[in-house]
Structure 1
Amino acid sequence: MSEEATTADLGLLSARLEEVEGYLHLDETRERIARLERESAAPGFWDDADGARAVMEALARDRDDVAAFEAARSLLEDAQAALELGDEMDDDGLREESQALAERLSSSLSELELSSWFTDDLDHGDAIVTVTPGQGGLEAQDWTEMLFRMYLRYCERRGWKVDVNDAPAGDVIGLDRATFTVSGKNAYGMLRADQGVHRLVRISPTDAKKRRQTTFAGVEVLPVLPDDIEVEIDPSDLRIDVYHASGPGGQGVNTTDSAVRITHLPSGIVVTCQNERSQIQNKASAMQILKARLYEQEKARREAELDELRGPKHEISFGNQIRNYVLYPFQLVKDTRTGIETGNVSAVLDDGDLDQFIVGYHRWAVSQQAE
């Protein structure tokens, strides 16, 4: 990369850093940190355990934002110093070091920009993800398992914890569905970008004639509700069934009736969980998912508009997809909303390299709101 291009890059990154500083309101954040630290040191702070945990979570989030910004500023200073010294000494090695630092800075700024875009408290919390087969029969169940594994790899890359709630095997191949809870910073805010219909085009692995097959799966993303959000559920409205756990989500627990299915009779919502080793744990996980879905339903009803958490409800079929994954006759993954695409399909499906799409979606969504 030429000196001029690198200098221009650093100038753009410096401008982005200034914008992020404005977005994050760091002076206010530092004042809030000082206030929360005083609160946490006060006598009797832990008398209200739930309130104390909420304060500590907010304090940790603010500290992380300030630390990340300071680290980004240090990266910019180091990159500028390496470039200046490289120019003085005509040292390509230092120029390359400057470029490497600039790339790290760009990635850090993307994370900081995301934090500034997430204005709903739920965005910063955990997520419940469900992948469901759409059109395509057995192929759709196989596609469901492929997406499930893609998200597991993505969560691993981000350092998020995953608890598989339910992942029963398909009729012949793949999964009948997959529900899992993701715990980590901004998990819900990030993953809601992938809510919608995902379309796969490939040579069918189950077709003896090796014909091209188009398959669909739907991804639903819900927030894990914090303790201070209450969802009233009348126990008489619930039908709770227990059964033998089975399939990938129930290995090791299928010798007892540990799996739980909860049906909310007024709404018709059905939730199953079979991954935990006890019926009590499975019931607790299923209730958490049910509360999230009822919260979503109530929010939609009160606001009398499209469901803000799921987005528009579409049939899981052609024409409604948010992203296409093409394995044949060429290799391409393309987001239909943002136009972002890559030919490295393996990196996406096998390695969970989704940030280009997820971060790209949020940047695009913010730009749409600004217009």
Structure 2
Amino acid sequence: MSDLLQKLESISIRFNEVGQQIVDPDIIGDMDRYVKLTKEYKDLQAFMDIYKVYKDVMGNIETSKEMIELEDDPEMKEMAKLELDELLPKRQELEEEIKVMLIPKDPADDKNVIVELRAGTGGDEACIFVEDIYRMYSMYFKNRGWRVELVNSNEGGTSGYRELSFEVEGDGVFGTLKFESGVHRVQRVPETESQGRVHTSAITVAVLPEAEEVDIDLNMADVKKDTYRASGAGGQHVNKTESAVRLTHIPTNTVVECQDGRSQHKNYEKALTVLRSRLYQAERDKKDLERSAHRKSLISTGDRSAKIRTYNYPQGRITDHRINKTMYNLSSFMNGDIQEIIDALKIAENAEKMQEGTSV
């Protein structure tokens, strides 16, 4: 039996074990455990589907080889050779797919996320680009059926936003969006530019896996809470009471603000979620730095200062600098058609992991 078949056989045994556990009344009564097991069952189902196909292909290959070796009839021998010629590429294709599936997943990949957009160099133009990127992501999320909720916003001087943060909920959100973190650069002629010159502006994008209480040990004695009157989005009601919340994690001087909810309680809960997520990501970044001592990841999610993508409006071009991929569909890209670049980044990540034999 091949190594891959052995691995799939082990997964099959676990699949059957989990299948029995999720119908156990004691486990059904333990909601946390039941949810984890049903998720594991769903993940293992994909392996079972490909296991059946791969097992059949391997069996047919053995049968064809036996026929070629033992069959006396020339026609039957030729048929077996033709079948083997079709089966061998199929086996190779399946094995590559299985190897990718067996790459250990980042445990945070299935988490919801907090996305933080901040204007960088470029003044008003950077603020406008924050709004453009938010619109781009929002249209992509809508196509994926994901839910988006605004957490905090600070408007720009004339238009756009200096800062914008929002929560995204759905299946596999962090695993899909994590490579969006970094500096996004835009090259275009601003509306206020009378000479028609192209300006370069930049914003930063941070994609944080949404941390739960079990993910981060947060001592509330280390958290200072301030309230103030909100301004900007949210309607007139936000100015009547101190509904906005600012949390400061004293040991790390991490500051989180939330003012877009209608109540102080809701803003506090959202701010606490963002604070946990930032501290959780800081721990992940620390581990990434430790790992990078012996390997340099091309598409690391830890470096927020790395220029990852350029949006060039005069040429209608998007270039992702990490994988040297350029596309000339800027208009549709800014309307949420970003799946191609996300898929390319995932392929690059998988190739990197397979080459180095390491996991996230």
Bin of the TM-score, shorter chain as denominator length: 0.7 to 0.9
Cα RMSD for the two superposed structures: 3.4
Deviation at residue 342 of structure 1 after TM alignment: 1.6
Q: Please report how far the alpha carbon of residue 242 of structure 1 lies from its aligned counterpart in structure 2 after TM superposition.
A: 1.9
Q: Give the 3 Å change call, closer, same or farther, for CA 247–47 of structure 1 in structure 2.
A: same
Stretches of structure 1 that go unaligned for 5 or more consecutive residues are 1-21, 74-110, 315-319
Give the residue type in structure 1 aligned to 2:339: D
Partner of 1:127: 113
Alignment pair present for 1:311 and 2:302: yes
Which of residues 256, 259, 283 in structure 2 aligns to 1:274?
259
Larger Rg: 2
The residue aligned with 1:188 is 174
- Is the 2:204–2:304 Cα contact (8 Å) retained in structure 1? no
CA distance in 1, matches of 2:225, 2:42: 38
Q: Which range moves more in the overlay, 231-240 or 298-307? A: 298-307
**Equivalent runs, 1:215-234 vs 2, <5 Å:** 215-226=201-212, 228-229=214-215, 231-234=216-219
> Partner of 1:366 in structure 2?
350
Once the two structures are superposed, residues 327-361 of structure 1 have per-residue CA deviations (whole angstroms, 9 ceiling, x without a partner) of: 02x211111111222211111112x1111111101
Aligned to 1:217, what secondary structure does the other structure show?
A: strand
* TM-score (ref. length: structure 1): 0.72
Query: Are residue 52 (structure 1) and residue 37 (structure 2) matched?
Result: no
CA distance in 1, matches of 2:236, 2:14: 47
Mapping 1:38-117, distance limit 5 Å: 38-63=20-45, 65=46
Matched position secondary structure for 1:122: coil
> Partner of 2:280 in structure 1?
295
- What is the number of equivalent residue pairs in this alignment? 307
Structure 2 unaligned spans of 5+: 55-96
Identity rate of aligned residues, in percent? 28
Whether 2:221 is the aligned partner of 1:236: answer yes
What's the TM-score once normalised by structure 2's chain length?
A: 0.74
Partners of 1:326 and 1:186 in 2: CA distance: 30
Cα–Cα, structure 1 residues 28 and 289, in superposed 2: closer, same or farther, change >3 Å? farther
Residue 80 of structure 1: aligned partner: none
With over 3 angstroms needed to count, the CA separation of the structure-2 counterparts of 1:28 and 1:227, relative to structure 1, is farther
Equivalent residue number for residue 349 of structure 1: 334
**Shift of the alpha carbon at 1:158?**
1.6
Q: Equivalent residue for 2:200? A: 214
- 1:90-138 CA distances to partner (integer Å, 9 max, x unpaired)? xxxxxxxxxxxxxxxxxxxxx9998665612211222221111111111
Aligned residue type for 2:141:
C
Check 1:186–1:143 CA distance in 2 against 1; reply closer, same or farther (3 A cut). same
Equivalent-residue separation in structure 2 for 1:282 and 1:142 (angstroms): 25
Q: Cα distance, 1:33 vs. partner?
A: 3.8
Cα separation, 2, equivalents of 1:271 and 1:129? 13
Matches of 2:98 and 2:208, distance apart in 1:
23
CA distance in 2, matches of 1:252, 1:58: 46
Going from structure 1 to structure 2, the CA distance change for 1:115 and 1:218 (only over 3 Å counts) comes to farther
Q: Deviations over 1:180-218 (max 9, x none)?
A: 122222210111111111000000123344432101011
**CA distance 1:214–1:278, change in 2 (3 Å):** same
